[in-house]
Amino acid sequence: MHILWVKNELLHPLDKGGRIRTYEMLRRLRDHHRVTYLALDDGTLTPEQRARALEYCDELVIVPWRKAPLRGAGRALAALGNLFSSLPFALSPYRSAAMTGAIREWCRRSAGQEAVVVCDFLVPALNVPEDLGCPVVLFQHNVEAMIWERRAKVASNPVVKLYMREQWRRMQRVEREQCLRFDHVVAVSPEDAAVFRARYGVERVSSVPTGVDTEFFRPSGAVTRTPGSIVFTGSMDWMPNEDGMGFFVEEILPLVKRAVPEATLSIVGRNPTARVRALAEGRSDISVTGTVPDVRPYLEAASVVVVPLRIGGGTRIKIYEAMGMERAVVSTTIGAEGLDVVDGEHILLADDPQSFADAVVALLRAPERAEQIGQEAASHVRAHFGWAAVAEQFADRCIAAASRRDRPSPVMSMSS
C-alpha cells in the first residue's frame, strides 16, 4: 500500500506527544508500506529536519506556506481578524492552495494503485479536496472541540471564557463537518471514538491504542531515585500542560509539602511560558528545565510522576513513558483518559486537590508501594502497547478504507 501522510509540520524535534505518536507509527508502517510525507514550509525548515524526515518516510514533499504571526501585535491583529471568520483561530491560518494541489496531484499519479491519504490531525483537513478518487483517512489524536470546551469551563476571566466558548462552538461545527466527509476516522482511544459517534454521528470510526517505545523507555540503572522528587514532563507551551502545572503548584503542592516538607517538583519540557517560569521564581523546591535532550534521566530520578491535567483530549503518551520507566504515576481522570490503566494497580487517579495530594504523599512515604505500582505499570505497557502492534492496527484501518468502494457524500467547502 502507498500512503500519502499529510501533516502541517515535520516531526523533529520529537518534543510533542502528537509528533512522537506519528513518528513511531510511521517508522513501523514503512516496514511493509511506502510512505510519502507532505508538509508545509514557512521558510524555517532546516536541512537537518528535511534529512531526518527520511527516518519516517520514503519520499518527502514540501509546499510553501506563509505562516501567520504567533506572538505580539501580529497575533493580536490576526485574532481580531478571525472575529469575521467562520473558522476557529487555531485552524484558519493553515489554509494552503499549494497543499491542496499537491494532494490532488499525488492521487492522480496513484490512480490504479492501492493508495490511501492519511490526514494527520484536524488542521490540515481543510486542505484535503473533495472527490480525490482515492480513500482518505482522518487521524484524530484527540477530539479538538472537547479541548476548547474544557478550556471554557476552567477559564475564570469572563472575557476569556466568552472567547473560549465561541472557539469551542466553531471548532465543534468544523470538526463535525470534516469527520463526516472522510472515508474513515481513526481515534486514539475507544472513548474518543465514542464521542465522535455520539456528538457528530460518525459511523466510520475506530480506534488504535497509544503506544510506547518499550525498549527506549526502560530504567538505565545509572540514575538513583531521589527521595521526595515529583516530576512532570510535557510541552510547556501547550495550554493544558500550563494549566495543569498552575493547578498543581497553587492548589496541590502546598498540601503535599505540609506532609512531606522536603518534596520537590521538576517541570520538564520545552518552551515554558512566562506563567510556568513564574511558578519557580524565588523557590528552591521547584525547577523548570526547559528543553532537555532526554527526559529519561528525569523520570528515572523521580519518586512520583504527576499528570494533573484538567484540560485536554486524546491520550497522554507521557504516562506510558513514565510507566515504561517503572515509575508510579498520579493523574487526574482527564490526564489518564483513554489509556488502558487500572486505578490502584498501574496508576493512581485523583481529581480534587486534597485527593491528589493524598495520593502523592502516600507514594512518597511508601517507596515500596511506588516501586510495586511502577513494576506493574511497566509489565502492562511492555506486554500490550509496543508501537509495532499499534502501527499494524492502523494499517488495517487504512487497508479497510482503501478497499471500501462507497464514498461519503461531500460537504460544502467552508468559507474562511
CATH number of the domain at 266, please. Answer: 3.40.50.2000
Any alpha helices (H) in 82-157, and if so which ranges?
Answer: 97-109, 144-154
Indicate whether 92 and 207 sit together in one domain.
Answer: yes
The yes-or-no verdict on residue 70 having pLDDT over 60 is: no
**C-beta separation of 21 from 133 below 8 A:** no
Residue 105's Cβ-count burial label (10 Å; 0-12, 13-18, 19+) is exposed
Going edge to edge, which strands form the sheet with 2-6? 59-64, 34-41, 2-6, 115-120, 136-140, 184-187, 205-207
Indicate whether 154 and 6 sit together in one domain.
Answer: yes
The yes-or-no verdict on residue 314 having pLDDT over 80 is: no
Indicate whether 131 and 162 sit together in one domain.
Answer: yes
What is the pLDDT averaged over residues 368-378? 97
pLDDT given for residue 71 in this prediction:
57
Nearest-angstrom CA–CA distance, 403 and 237: 40
- Domain interval for residue 60: 2-211+388-403
pLDDT given for residue 405 in this prediction:
41
Mean pLDDT of the chain: 91
Would you say residue 21 lies in a domain? yes
Indicate whether 188 and 301 sit together in one domain.
Answer: no
Claim: this prediction has a pTM higher than 0.75: yes
Any alpha helices (H) in 53-96, and if so which ranges?
Answer: 72-81
Would you say residue 68 lies in a domain? yes
The yes-or-no verdict on residue 415 having pLDDT over 90 is: no
pLDDT given for residue 74 in this prediction:
62
pLDDT given for residue 416 in this prediction:
33
Compare 260 and 237 and report the one with higher pLDDT: 260
Compute φ and ψ for 4, nearest 5 degrees: -100, 115
Reduced to 3 states (helix: H, G, I; strand: E, B; else coil), residue 28 is helix
